[in-house]
């Protein structure tokens, strides 16, 4: 499946606040349904490129949910305003148009696929039947995991969800995107769930009997992904991470999104990712 | 149907080197890319004699109406390019221009010969924004160095040689005239302006390399001035670029004396920018024809 | 309280030459201008030995995140300046820096002597983006020309001499080092980038002179890179400018090595930009102090 | 009377379409009441300076009407969208804020003042008591004449108003700004009033007995002002023109707004104008 060539205009159908973040929906009349982990390059049609300062380039956003709409596909994005680009996208009003390029990038594997790829001879997880998925999200990084969870549910893949938040003001999307599923929460300030890091929850889970046959999927701040990657490597558990890097184009044109590879050299996160296995990248440099 | 150095092109818009990877784009967009190819000729990312992995990230930084890049010319080297990339680029529905850079005449010669002997290649662009390892000088900053390089390379291929100028000089027209004198078939300009930005979060440069090259609409006025200055002194055709986002921007370059224009940074914002700008130029030319006469756009 | 070449300043923000006419502004805004004067020192528009009326309009052209100007240094000449403008500028509540330009050593000497002997003047800025009528070369493009000019002028006054560099060179640091060598007390940069734009309505340059100088946020990345490069080679203080609109922009220059910053084009959008940026810098420095350590900003 | 130093934010209280143009009002809580002929430099607070292209500089607009508002002074502007800056100002919505610098520039003289300035010995109009004002406006140039007419009315100066428009689509502001006064219209397409130029109406009027003692005030396209200036010089009638030139700053800082003077040299239209007498500028070059 490829993305439609070129950027197209999609209308905003909804936009609302959720726990410090915003959730907005676009109606895409021309693109395919995206896969979990894929992203879009977005820029508001108006008041993006006129004026004297930033933003200038489009911004990468993971699709958090999708579904059929009357006239195409609905795309939901969960967004945190941290600068001029995300601030402008947080302001989107229903009826406004957005320049859209995508869906872009690769997508998450199923636990079975991941075990096939990740399992070199001698690693303990490659023989067993995968016992299911563990999704580990932090902050705004919960976005791509929402769509992943639903896709696993549709495939009857047993899935456990661990989400971490800094505080109540950074717990956006929780109710909207994970309403009908069992999740375990962690929060830095203890306002909900475990008082501490979501990786504490993962550590406990990785001590379980069936852990080695599970597959871990994670998205969140770089330090969290580094920890998750290290814990999975230690435990010999298959793992995929959805990562971020600075992106100008999103389709392999600019070479700006490079991530160091363990053996030297770089991969382009936009076309070789954004979903990578911990052994594909130098996590400490990310 | 612009004729450019004997190459027939469907429209006057090509891509700026290093701003569109047709191989990656084909993976992303599939055959629609070829059916609707945005450029009338395709310019490769600059290749060097040996493979390069490119610079350490952070490599890009957004600035007012533009961006800084310090990508560091990642490429597979001459052999890797010929073996792996060229066959795929040969599939494109448009003529291929290969951009090359080296740090000495011998190395440049190896690139020009290796690329020039391939039928898939229509023309070669010499990226001269590089130091000469022998003189230590940036070739494209020195008229004499540029002329000497062209004289050395000119006999090695019958393919058109384009010279891509650096804008970081007091007098680009002198360098262009030297390139013409040395036997260049066309001049392309501008490359990026030397630039830096400081990350407010750290007080350190936002680009890991400390500085990089500025591109995008911010540089367009500099590019238009340099194209005008070069057009006043050379007779060979000019490929104008630097901040072209729309047909009106491209028309500035055409009025300033460019025969072709190249779209660079705008590709990042709109993968079909080439096609779009070509259509906008056609519209502008139609409007001009029906009104006051404008400069020659052949 | 920055100390700049022995001049005590209330904050690190001055104006860029030619972007604020304190005499006209006082007519428009009255005594409020003096009560709330936006700059910690005032830099005059560049004066020349003889009066100039300036260039034919159109003189300005808006561009992405910036503007082109080709004003042509209208001024009353040395005698007119001393007789008519200086008494009024002496009323300002801040030290006065007079910007001067000429096309030869003798003429420059007349300006430096004439201005330097006046008590109202705290320092002199040499605008070297001008041709030397004898050599035909632009002084500020040539390290040797710049050094020779400084050596000729240095003995003529005890007032601090600032040298305002042109950015239209391959290597501004070489010129800065030559200026320091010649006896300059400070370097200010950048002046405007050579630029042009075509009026879509006519196909002709929007600026009557054909080209002019680019300023505003668009040039900031070029300015920051040049300030970094100059700071790496000189020990004298640097006045950084080019596209400063906000305190965060000014902080880029301070981190890059500037002691003072100058606000230019932003004055046109906000007459109180100087004050505002000074306040924003103070805020940023406070925030920096409470967090990670940053570079020296003295 | 000087302008407050610096730019300030003023709220938009109203904005509506009028015959192809827009009329919007700002509430200025800090500035003085402007004089007829003065202008402001305006930029929308939001979506002006963010993004990658123009507008970058503020735009000059003449004040068309003014009056007391609950919390300051109401400023009305009549505007034609002809490019990125005016287009953005045309979009202003009530409640939005605008960066305002002004009032700037000089203002129109009364007929008596004008006769005193314009009348060198030997010119026929300098002795007589002025018979009144003739206002000649074209297109968007009617804006400053609206306020001038009302100020003359308040001073009991007899005033005749001649307005010209291209066509119905370019007749904005007419009803709103000149509702309660007697005007003569001309239109290029004959849709209203005299079929032809407004200068035809002026020519007829200048043939009247009392013409020489009148004073003409005009604002409109450069060619019209050139014609008005020439006709008044010919007829020996005192005249003031409100002119335009490219302005970056509006307060004398940039020297961009220069207009050639007859003897050579230039004046700065923002501080020496925008109201000038025809003998102060080279009209043919304007
Ligand atoms: C594949 C992918 C998926 C993503 N998915 C999501 C998502 O679902 N939701 C979401 O909220 N975010 C997501 N992001 C992150 C989002 O794209 C960034 O937050 C956004 O690009 C920031 O832009 P900005 O203008 O708001 O902030 P910027 O000002 O660009 O700031 C972002 C960071 O960039 C750096 N920076 C500062 N100034 C500059 C500058 N001038 N130029 C360049 N960098 C600068 C700083 O380190 C700053 O912290 C995703 C990113 C990627 C790559
Ligand atoms: C004292 C004064 C009072 C005024 N009063 C009014 C008023 O009451 N109502 C009103 O509607 N207008 C008024 N104007 C005119 C108004 O200021 C201009 O129409 C406005 O500045 C145009 O800006 P823009 O961005 O919309 O158009 P621009 O794109 O700036 O186009 C305006 C003209 O500028 C030229 N131009 C084109 N491109 C550029 C460019 N890149 N840079 C610079 N110039 C370019 C062209 O010749 C074009 O026709 C007044 C002007 C002055 C000086
Ligand atoms: C990310 C990036 C990579 C580039 N790589 C190259 C390159 O490999 N070779 C080259 O000659 N120019 C390179 N350039 C310069 C462009 O070809 C072009 O000269 C410049 O960007 C100005 O055009 P623009 O403003 O339209 O981008 C690169 C520019 C960018 C932004
Ligand atoms: C309208 C205008 C007039 C200028 N006049 C002068 C001048 O007389 N002398 C000078 O040294 N620089 C002059 N400059 C350059 C500025 O001092 C400054 O170096 C440049 O504009 C970059 O700063 P900015 O981007 O903040 O404007 C002028 C700039 C502008 C925009
Ligand atoms: S974002 Fe441009 S190559 Fe990946
Ligand atoms: S508009 Fe700047 S001096 Fe008149």
Among candidate residues C130, C150, C218, C261, the one labeled active-site is: C130
The pLDDT score that the predictor gives to residue D74 is 97
Q: Under an 8 Å CB criterion, which residues of C touch D?
A: 18-21, 23-25, 27-30, 32-33, 36, 53-54, 56-67, 69, 71, 74, 216-217, 245, 265, 267-272, 275
**What's the N-to-C CA distance of chain C in angstroms?**
9
Cβ neighbours, 10 Å, residue B12: 27
In A, minimum Cα distance to B53 occurs at A265
pLDDT at residue C23 tops 70: yes
By three-state DSSP, how is residue D284 classified? helix
> Worst-scoring range by mean pLDDT, A16-25, B93-102, C189-198?
A16-25
Residue A49: which pLDDT band, with cuts at 50, 70 and 90?
low
Mutate to test the interface with A, among B37, B53, B57, B275 (most CBs of A within 10 A): B57
Which protein residue's CA is at the shortest distance from atom 7 of ligand 2? D61
Half-sphere exposure of C236 (CA within 13 A, CB side): 21
- Kindly determine whether residue C74 and residue D266, on different chains, have CB atoms separated by under 8 Å: yes
Asked if C211 and B228 count as a contact pair (C-beta separation under 8 A), the reply is: yes
By three-state DSSP, how is residue C42 classified? strand
**What's the N-to-C CA distance of chain A in angstroms?**
29
By three-state DSSP, how is residue D120 classified? coil
Residues 6+ apart with CB under 8 A from A281: A243, A259, A260, A261, A262, A267
Give counts: helices (H), strands (E), chain D: 7, 16
Tokens of residue C167, six digits: 């950015």
- The secondary structure of C66-127 as a DSSP string is EEEE-----B-HHHHIIIIIHHHHTTSSS-EEEEE--SSHHHHHHHHHHHHT-TT--EEEEE
- Kindly determine whether residue B270 and residue A49, on different chains, have CB atoms separated by under 8 Å: no
Over residues C238-253, the mean pLDDT reads 97
Residue D273: which pLDDT band, with cuts at 50, 70 and 90?
very high
Position of tokens 């990786």?
A: A199
Chains that touch C (3 or more CB pairs under 8 A): A, B, D
Ligand 6 pocket, D254 CB below 6 A? Answer: yes
In D, minimum Cα distance to C217 occurs at D56
Whole-number mean pLDDT of chain D?
89
d(CA D161, CA D142): 10
Cβ neighbours, 10 Å, residue A241: 30
Half-sphere exposure of D155 (CA within 13 A, CB side): 14
Chains that touch B (3 or more CB pairs under 8 A): A, C, D
- Residue by residue, pLDDT tens for chain B (298 residues) are 689 999 999 999 999 999 999 999 999 999 999 999 999 999 999 999 999 999 999 999 999 999 999 999 999 999 999 999 999 999 999 999 999 999 999 999 999 999 999 999 999 999 998 776 677 778 999 999 999 999 999 999 999 999 999 999 999 999 999 999 999 999 999 999 999 999 999 999 999 999 999 999 999 999 999 999 999 999 999 999 999 999 999 999 999 999 999 999 999 999 999 999 999 999 988 887 765 444 433 3
Tokens of residue B52, six digits: 């390069």
**ipTM > 0.85, yes or no:** yes
d(CA C25, CA C35): 13
SS3 content of chain A, % helix, strand, coil (to 5): 25, 30, 40
Residue C27: which pLDDT band, with cuts at 50, 70 and 90?
very high
Whole-number mean pLDDT of chain C?
94
- Out of C201, C215, C218, mutate this one to test ligand 2's pocket (max ligand atoms within 8 Å of CB): namely C201
d(CA C236, CA C178): 12
- C229 secondary structure, DSSP code: H
Over residues C196-210, the mean pLDDT reads 96
pTM equals 0.95
Tally the residues of chain D. 286
- Angle value at C-alpha A215, between A214 and A217, nearest 5 degrees: 145
Q: Under an 8 Å CB criterion, which residues of A touch B?
A: 2-7, 43, 49, 52-58, 99, 101, 104, 245-246, 248-249, 251-256, 258-260, 264-266, 268, 271, 285
pLDDT at residue C237 tops 70: yes
d(CA B187, CA B185): 7
The pLDDT score that the predictor gives to residue A16 is 93
Cβ neighbours, 10 Å, residue D51: 28
Q: How many CB pairs under 8 A join A and B?
A: 123
A84 to chain D: which residues are within 8 Å by CB? 50
Half-sphere exposure of C150 (CA within 13 A, CB side): 28
Integer-rounded Cα Rg, in Å, for chain C is 18
The pLDDT score that the predictor gives to residue C199 is 97
The pLDDT score that the predictor gives to residue B195 is 97
Cβ neighbours, 10 Å, residue A127: 10
Of the candidates A156, A98, A165, A101, the one whose C-alpha atom is nearest the C-alpha of residue A130 is A156
The pLDDT score that the predictor gives to residue C296 is 38
Over residues C118-139, the mean pLDDT reads 87
Render pLDDT for D112-131 as a digit per residue (tens, 0 to 9).
Answer: 999 888 765 445 554 556 77
The minimum-distance atom of ligand 1 relative to the CA of A21 is 11
The alpha carbon dihedral of B165, B167, B168, B174 has a sign of: positive
Q: Under an 8 Å CB criterion, which residues of D touch C?
A: 2-7, 43, 49, 52-58, 99, 101, 104, 245-246, 248-249, 251-256, 258-260, 264-266, 268, 271, 285
Of the candidates C232, C287, C293, C285, the one whose C-alpha atom is nearest the C-alpha of residue C258 is C232
Tokens of residue B185, six digits: 């078939």
Residues 6+ apart with CB under 8 A from C83: none
Render pLDDT for C214-236 as a digit per residue (tens, 0 to 9).
Answer: 999 999 999 999 999 999 999 99
Residue D53: which pLDDT band, with cuts at 50, 70 and 90?
low
Over residues A128-147, the mean pLDDT reads 88
Residue A121: which pLDDT band, with cuts at 50, 70 and 90?
very low
% of chain C with per-residue pLDDT over 90: 90
Render pLDDT for A175-225 as a digit per residue (tens, 0 to 9).
Answer: 778 876 778 888 888 888 888 899 999 999 888 877 778 999 999 999 999
The pLDDT score that the predictor gives to residue B170 is 93
Render pLDDT for D173-215 as a digit per residue (tens, 0 to 9).
Answer: 787 788 767 788 988 888 888 888 999 999 998 887 777 789 9
Residues 6+ apart with CB under 8 A from C161: C112, C123, C124, C125, C126, C150, C153, C154, C183, C184, C185, C186
The pLDDT score that the predictor gives to residue D120 is 54
**Parallel/antiparallel/unpaired status of strands C193-195 and C212-215:** antiparallel
Asked if A181 and A149 count as a contact pair (C-beta separation under 8 A), the reply is: yes
d(CA C222, CA C203): 28
């Amino acid at each position: 499946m490829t993305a439609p060539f070129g950027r197209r205009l999609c209308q905003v159908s909804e936009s609302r606040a959720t726990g410090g973040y915003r959730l907005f929906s676009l109606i895409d009349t021309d693109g395919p349904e995206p896969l979990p982990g894929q992203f879009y390059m977005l820029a508001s049609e108006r008041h993006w490129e006129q004026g004297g300062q930033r933003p200038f380039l489009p911004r990468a956003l993971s699709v958090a949910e999708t579904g059929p709409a009357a006239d195409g596909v609905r795309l939901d994005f969960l967004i945190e305003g941290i600068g001029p680009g995300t601030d402008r996208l947080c302001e989107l009003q229903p009826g406004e148009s957005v320049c859209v390029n995508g869906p872009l990038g690769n997508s998450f594997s199923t636990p079975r696929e991941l075990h096939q790829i990740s399992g070199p001879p001698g690693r303990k997880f490659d023989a067993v039947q995968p016992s299911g998925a563990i999704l580990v999200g932090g902050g705004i990084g919960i976005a791509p995991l929402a769509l992943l969870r639903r896709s696993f549910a549709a495939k009857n893949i047993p899935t456990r969800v661990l989400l971490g938040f800094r505080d109540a003001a950074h717990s956006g999307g929780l109710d909207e995107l994970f309403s009908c599923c069992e999740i375990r929460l962690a929060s830095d300030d203890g306002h909900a769930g475990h008082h501490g890091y979501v990786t504490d929850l993962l550590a406990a889970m990785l001590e379980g009997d069936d852990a080695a046959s599970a597959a871990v999927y994670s998205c969140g701040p770089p330090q969290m992904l580094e920890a998750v990657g290290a814990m999975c490597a230690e435990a010999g558990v298959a793992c995929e991470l959805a990562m971020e890097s600075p992106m100008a184009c999103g389709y392999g044109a600019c070479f700006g999104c490079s991530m160091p590879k363990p053996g030297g050299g770089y991969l382009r996160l936009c076309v070789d990712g954004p979903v990578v296995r911990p052994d594909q990248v130098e996590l400490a440099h990310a | 149907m612009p004729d450019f150095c004997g190459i027939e092109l469907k429209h006057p818009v090509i891509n700026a080197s290093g701003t569109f990877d047709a191989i990656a784009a084909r993976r992303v967009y599939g055959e629609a890319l070829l059916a609707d190819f945005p450029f009338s000729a395709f310019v490769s990312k600059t290749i060097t004699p040996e493979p390069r992995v490119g610079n350490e990230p952070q490599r890009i930084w957004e600035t007012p109406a533009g961006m800084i890049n310090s990508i560091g010319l990642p490429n597979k080297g001459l052999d890797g390019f010929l073996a792996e990339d060229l066959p795929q680029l040969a599939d494109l529905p448009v003529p291929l221009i290969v951009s090359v850079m080296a740090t000495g005449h011998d190395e440049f010669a190896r690139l020009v010969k290796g690329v020039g002997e391939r039928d898939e290649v229509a023309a070669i662009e010499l990226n001269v924004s590089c130091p000469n390892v022998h003189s230590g000088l940036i070739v494209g900053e020195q008229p004499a160095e540029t002329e000497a390089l062209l004289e050395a390379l000119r006999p090695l291929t019958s393919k058109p040689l384009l010279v891509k100028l650096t804008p970081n000089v007091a007098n680009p027209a002198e360098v262009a005239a030297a390139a013409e004198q040395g036997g260049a078939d066309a001049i392309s300009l501008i490359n990026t302006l030397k630039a830096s930005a400081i990350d407010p979060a750290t007080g350190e440069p936002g680009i890991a390399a400390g500085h990089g090259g500025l591109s995008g609409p911010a540089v367009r006025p500099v590019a238009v001035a340099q194209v005008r200055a070069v057009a006043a002194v050379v007779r060979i055709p000019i490929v104008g670029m630097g901040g072209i986002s729309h047909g009106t921007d491209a028309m500035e370059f055409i009025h300033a004396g460019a025969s072709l224009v190249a779209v660079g940074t705008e590709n990042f914002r709109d993968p079909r920018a080439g096609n779009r700008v070509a259509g906008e130029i056609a519209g502008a030319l139609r409007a001009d024809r029906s009104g006051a006469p404008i400069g020659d756009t052949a």
